[in-house]
Amino acid sequence: MLTLFKNALVYSPENLGKKDVLTGGKTILAVAGTIDPPSGVEVQTIDCEGLWLVPGLIDSHVHVTGGGGEGGPASRMPELQLSMMVEAGVTTVIGCLGTDGITRSVESVLMKVKSLRAQGVSAWMYTGAYQVPPPTITGDIAKDIALFEEIIGVGEIAISDHRSSVPTIAELAKLTGHARVAGMIGGKAGIVNMHMGDAHDPFRPLHEIVASSQMGYKQFIPTHCNRNFYIFEDSKEYGKKGYVDITTSGYPYYADEEVKPSHALKLLIESGVPVEHITFTSDACGSLPGFDPVTGKLVKLEMGLPSSVLREIKEAVLDDGIAPETALKVATSNPATILKLTGKGFIQEGCDADILVIDPHFNIIRYMAMGKLM
């Protein structure tokens, strides 16, 4: 069956104006001012008058098998469910391990990624976890990246955090170079997803790696860059050289500690950070812990949700005055380009048919993943 979306205001994420969009199989077949239903084949026509058609969201930091555990066995988070993606408008996820690379395995993440793909959405993953050396499938991050189609990089590696394995700069540089070469061999991004903790001057390890090696800033995606006010201030300068990832789930749980993601986007752009360097991710199914600064004891715990990404994009547009075509980039074209996810992140002929139809208040009206309406 072909599906024809008529009369939609299309954001590719660039504003294309009012267009018709035709999909068939798993692919966008045509985007044009007017498309007549092809004769001789079954066509489902959806009138989108007054609605927007945008790329399905890419949430590139999700604990698909569940995260957490900092407060003992009862603090383990549950795994991601397909329904959580659908209600959030997320058609692509990148899975990862986090704090617990000890009792949770990279193999389990791989099988969850395969499960999500079998259910009709798109999924990739990082090998590794917080720890250095990181857990892997083959015993080598480079082999994991080069040999497994689903694995695009390594992470999330923890730095500037009391839960990290306190890796040296030499260890981090070697890991980064290893991931880069594996990406080249496997045709992947080979990127390193860096968990940024609460230590002051948190980007120092990344600056030192770049200064002491041939690695560039764009070999990293540092995440949680809005987790406190001082890391966010540093992000305004770091983001001019490399990527900054804003975590959306922490707000409103930690409103007194974090920079609100929608407002963070506005402030980063005003500071001169190219919007193409900015991504939004949910940290879904990961724990959002709070620790007593004196005793180090866990004092509160929340869980990230995929729906936070669309919520913060919505509020960036409706509350912070950012143009839709700009706000949408942080979870569509930007992660697709940075992570080399071919066919993702754009409404263009030949791209995957990952499509959201939303109203101007960002309510989801239609959800299509890989050409299938759900």
Write out the catalytic residue numbers.
283
- Its sign, for the CA torsion 58, 368, 359, 365, is negative
192 forms beta bridges with: 154, 220
DSSP 180: H
Cα-based angle 353, 357, 363 (whole degrees, multiple of 5): 140
Nearest-angstrom CA–CA distance, 65 and 106: 10
* Radius of gyration over every alpha carbon of the chain, rounded to an integer in angstroms: 20
Q: Is 3 helix (H, G, I), strand (E, B) or coil?
A: strand
Nearest-angstrom CA–CA distance, 120 and 268: 35
Contacts of residue 74, defined as CB under 8 A and 6 or more positions apart, other chains included, come to none
Torsions phi, psi for 356 (to 5 deg): -115, 135
Nearest-angstrom CA–CA distance, 14 and 329: 8
